[in-house]
């Protein structure tokens, strides 16, 4: 029977010594959390991504690892469903972190057709919602005949 209960979330498993870490793409809620907690890093990342040619998103990963380590570590912990383990991620090494970020980026953006398309669709979605909200508020207040409080 189709439905959300039967959905299997796509994941990727990365080896870490004798262990393995299973990662998935990030949700809008988690992206929002990261953007709130690391807003300056996201502003710089957005400026860097906007100048890249199509398909060049992975070129910024070394910069992400160098300039935004806490953001990167927290993103990996969230994608591993262990949000309290960012300190553990920090100790796993830059090579693991780089591979993990690539996997998370791909798992997050591939369903939308890649990074550029994902970002463009988010902008379109949120811009449309932002423009619709004043219209919605005006429609609701016009439909409510009660006097203001």
pLDDT surpasses 70 at 65: no
**Is pLDDT at 107 greater than 70 in this prediction?**
yes
108 pLDDT above the threshold of 90 = yes
In a domain, 3, yes or no: no
Average pLDDT of every residue of the chain: 82
Q: What's the structural domain count of the chain?
A: 1
How far CA 17 is from CA of 34, 51, 104, 128, in Å, comes to 28, 37, 20, 46
pLDDT value at residue 54 = 72
Indicate if the alpha-carbon torsion angle 74, 113, 125, 56 is positive or negative: positive
What local confidence, expressed as pLDDT, does residue 120 receive? 82
d(CA 57, CA 110): 12
Reduce the secondary structure of 85-149 to three states and give it as a string.
HHHHHHCCCHHHHHHHHHHHHHHHHHHHCCHHHHHHHHHHHHHHHHHHHHHHHHHHHHHCCCCCC
Asked whether residue 134 carries a pLDDT value surpassing 70, the answer given is no
pLDDT at 142 over 80: no
Expressed as residue numbers, the domain containing 130 is 11-143
Give the model confidence (pLDDT) of 81-95 as tens digits.
999 999 999 999 888
Residue 121 lies in a domain: yes
Is 140's pLDDT higher than 80?
Answer: no
Residue 6, domain member (yes or no): no
Q: Taking the model in full, what pTM does it have?
A: 0.71
């Amino acid at each position: 029977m189709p439905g959300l209960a039967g959905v299997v979330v796509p994941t990727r498993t990365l080896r870490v010594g004798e262990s393995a870490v299973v990662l998935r793409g990030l949700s809008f809620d988690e992206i929002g959390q990261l953007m709130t907690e690391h807003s300056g890093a996201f502003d710089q990342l957005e400026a860097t991504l906007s100048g890249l040619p199509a398909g060049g998103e992975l070129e910024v990963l070394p910069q992400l690892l160098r300039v935004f380590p806490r953001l990167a570590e927290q993103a990996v912990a969230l994608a591993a469903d262990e949000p309290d383990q960012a300190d553990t991620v920090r100790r796993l090494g830059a090579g693991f972190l780089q591979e993990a970020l690539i996997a998370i980026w791909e798992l997050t953006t591939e369903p939308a057709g890649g990074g550029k398309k994902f970002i463009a669709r988010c902008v379109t979605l949120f811009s449309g919602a932002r423009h619709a909200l004043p219209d919605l508020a005006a429609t609701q207040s016009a439909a409510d005949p009660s006097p203001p409080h």
